[in-house]
A and B are shown apart, each in its own frame.
Chain A
Amino acid sequence: MTETTLAKPVQEVVLEAGRADRHYWLDLWRYRELFQVLAWRDVTIRYKQTVIGVAWAVLQPLLQTLIMTLVFSRLAKLPSDGGSPYALMALAGILPWTFFATALANASNSLVSNNNLVSKVYFPRLIVPTAAIVASMVDFAIGLIILGGFMAWFRFAPDWRIVFLPAFALMAFLAVLGPSLWITSVNVRYRDFRYVIPFIVQFGLYVSPVGYSASVVPQKWRLLYSLNPMVAVIDGFRWCVLGGHATIYWPGFGLGLAVIAAALWLGVRQFRKLEKTFADLI
């Protein structure tokens, strides 16, 4: 079948029911430009026809930090990590959490909101939710600049741990990818899931150390608490940013990594399983 009369080898595709696509990951690489373009589109249109535009990406974390600091530090009198400025600690938690929340919401709806593409053109569908998550990273990057501003304001110099920040950003990306893939693929079939996401986000805000330090959680609950993968991500973030002031609870961190890996495996598996039916059901 592979004999060709042309100089260039001819690309051959066999279409059959239930055929596992051998070239799936290669195809994903081949379509990397589409991935870039979709991510760029999502970023470009986000603040179109808004008055203050990108300022939203600045305003939201600032206001959240203000509220969190007022409520948890001033009213609830909770301690910060190792005596670091509370606002700084709060912002270091808010950034990864906001990224998680917006990325989860955007990616979970991505297939349904791109139904015109899914039903009219072929490309590896994995591109759509992944591009949506990458687009959410732009707000996150703007947040990091604000974080830098905060550190300068509090005259807080980071130490060598800051170089691990990209690793934890990647961890946040993977933490949101697994659940997003699972939800977006099931959402194509049962649209109920779009109502579940706001609930997950609201609930998650309380069970993640966003406005408070994970160290206030009693030791005996700590491992159970770490089943939430965002605990490990946020802890890691604070560890990088706050230098020696924050500590990582390593058993919980390991558990978080395991949960992220398991969710990713389940998400990819579910997505691949349902992928072929998307165009028929969307």
Chain B
Amino acid sequence: MAAADIAIEVEGLSKSYLIGHQAAHRAESFREMVTRSARAAARTALSVARGRQLVAGDEVEEFWALRDVSFEVRRGEVIGVIGRNGAGKSTLLKILSRITEPTRGRAVIRGRVASLLEVGTGFHHELSGRENIYLNGAILGMTRGEIDAKFDEIVAFAEVGQFLDTPVKRYSSGMYVRLAFAVAAHLEPEILIVDEVLAVGDVAFQRKCLGKMQDVAQRGRTVLFVSHNLPSVVDLTSRALLLERGRVAMAGESRAVVSHFLAASHDRLEGGDLSGYRRPHRDAGWVDIERVLVGGGPLGVAVVQPGEGVAIDVDLRIHRPVSDGIVVINLLNENLDVVTTLMSTDDRCLFSAGVGLQHIRCEVGPLPLAPGEYLLNVATAQLGGRLSWDALNTLPGFRMGGESTAEWLRWPQRPGSTWLRNALWSADASTKAAGAVHQASKVL
């Protein structure tokens, strides 16, 4: 194959960062504290003298965000990049966008590149919509002539016509995002590099953007895009790349790669690896959330149809006897706005338990939610907030299926969140696996 037919050629690309750690234990004596501070000061002085970066912490470690990544993208091909958070997707895009340099390896890019790592980069809140179109366009690499030619199209796409001369700080967040995406959507590079930018805006607008992406792909442009929205990866791309801890775990036909990734996520979450989602919490070591199942299956897989409910199972590992325990679940939309909060106290469900496994099930009734992906925050604590035991944030939840009517989508979602009171909570002290048949037994 002639080199000219390959738009992106990546060979052995690696990227390392220096990260610092705090020592595992606190300094126990004055002497230890002094020697530690002295060592840190000496390291800082040495770094400054050599003109190197400063790293906070007691120990410095080299972290490889990307290791030996190689692949090729042919001209006109649309390729998806998927993987967990921290798998190196963003680092890869940053290198290909020339924002940062690889530590090792090389990449060759043939053609005019536009990269879209964020929607609305460089938007200035004091400037008007009109001014921001020119500013953002220039930042994304459009010439003034190109922006002039597309200006009306951009304004029409963003649906902000009458607010064109209002400073964007007065825009609603929806308008802001629409305007920002509209500029980006009218880029016409030979190679387009896109990070997770479709996860913004309301559902109707997301559809419109997906449509626009499809247009771009069909016009023979090369597109490399990162997404957590797996269905859209399957829809839009022919090939996909799965990254895992900085390496290419799989490359091939999108559908196969996505299902491999789903199966792997299934295994991983089954295996109880929720550590990536854990948030710092005050009273660690009492109760850990060991497993969360949605609809009896792994996280991020269930599809809930309109009019249907869903069961959320939470397995808690209790390390010290506890009393008056509660579980709180937030449902978040893709913008990470809390849509609703489910509290076990709403159904007067509290658990008191000794060391062992505690299983909590929450059966939510029909969900009045718009189609889209929903995430979960799951936390467990003592009633009244005296002890906060464990908290997991932004777990993949479920996909809400169904088509909304066009009429419904025309209207923005009402501010605030929904209060769902049709949930049924139950606690079960058995150590049986969640999802198995069990008797609901109310504690109170």
Binding site for B on A (CB under 8 A): 1, 3-6, 10-19, 33-34, 36-38, 41, 44-45, 48-49, 114, 116-123, 189-190, 276-277, 279-281
Contact = CB atoms under 8 A, between A and B. Distances in A.
A117 B122 contact: yes
Interface in B97-112: 97-112
Nearest to B17: A280
B68 to A, nearest CB: 14
B409 interface: no
Contacts of A34: 138-139, 141
Interface stretch (B113-121, B318-326, B388-396): B113-121
Nearest to A34: B138
B103 A122 contact: no
Contact of A121 (B54, B107, B122, B190): B122
Given A5-B4, A10-B4, A122-B97, A16 B110 contact: no
Q: List 9 tightest A-B contacts by C-beta distance, closest first.
A: A122-B98, A37-B138, A16-B106, A15-B107, A48-B126, A279-B100, A276-B101, A120-B121, A279-B99
Contacts of A121: 97, 99, 115, 117, 121-122, 139-140
Contacts of A1: 3
A13 B98 CA distance: 9
Interface in B125-139: 126-127, 131, 134-135, 138-139
Nearest to B195: A120
A281 B121 CA distance: 18
Given A13-B109, A120-B117, 19 more contacts: A3-B2, A4-B4, A10-B190, A11-B110, A13-B98, A14-B107, A17-B101, A18-B101, A37-B134, A41-B124, A41-B135, A44-B126, A45-B126, A117-B121, A120-B121, A121-B117, A122-B115, A190-B48, A277-B53
A280 B140 CA distance: 20
B98 A3 contact: no
Contact of B109 (A4, A15, A281): A15
B127 A44 contact: yes
B94 interface: yes
Interface size class of B (residues with CB under 8 A): 35 or more
Contacts of A45: 124, 126-127
Contact of B53 (A12, A279, A281): A281
Contacts of B101: 15-19, 276-277
A237 B439 CA distance: 90
Given A121-B117, A121-B121, A122-B115, A15 B95 contact: yes
Nearest to B118: A120
Contacts of B97: 121-122
Nearest to B91: A280
A114 B17 CA distance: 22
Contacts of B126: 44-45, 48-49
B438 to A, nearest CB: 49
Interface string B61-81: 000000000000000000000
Interface of B: 2-5, 17, 48, 51, 53-54, 94-113, 115, 117-118, 121-122, 124, 126-127, 131, 134-135, 138-141, 143-144, 190
B100 A13 contact: no
A48 B105 CA distance: 47
Contact of A189 (B4, B17, B53, B140): B53
Contact of B54 (A38, A116, A120, A189): A189
A107 to B, nearest CB: 18
A5 B2 contact: yes
A121 B5 CA distance: 26
Contact of B121 (A3, A16, A116, A279): A116
A15 B96 contact: yes
Contact of A17 (B48, B98, B102, B139): B102
Contact of A190 (B17, B54, B115): B54
B321 to A, nearest CB: 48
A10 B124 contact: no
B109 to A, nearest CB: 5
A118 B100 CA distance: 10
Contacts of A120: 99, 117-118, 121
Contacts of A118: 99
A118 B121 CA distance: 10
Contacts of B144: 33
Contacts of B190: 10
Given A120-B99, A121-B117, A279-B99, A33 B143 contact: yes
A44 B131 contact: yes
A12 B112 CA distance: 8
A13 to B, nearest CB: 5
Nearest to A48: B126
Nearest to B113: A13
A27 B424 CA distance: 62
B99 A12 contact: no
A43 to B, nearest CB: 12
Contacts of A6: 4
Which of B4, B104, B105, B106: most chain A CB closer than 10 A? B4
Contacts of A3: 2-4
7 contacts: A11-B112, A14-B106, A15-B108, A15-B109, A36-B138, A121-B139, A277-B100
B104 A17 contact: yes
A15 B106 contact: yes
Which of B51, B124, B139: most chain A CB closer than 10 A? B139
Nearest to A188: B53
A16 B54 CA distance: 24
Nearest to B11: A16
Contact of B103 (A17, A37, A114): A17
Contacts of B122: 114, 116-117, 121
Contacts of B140: 121
A83 to B, nearest CB: 47
B106 A279 contact: no
A119 B99 contact: yes
A53 to B, nearest CB: 13
B179 to A, nearest CB: 16
B371 to A, nearest CB: 30
Nearest to A275: B101
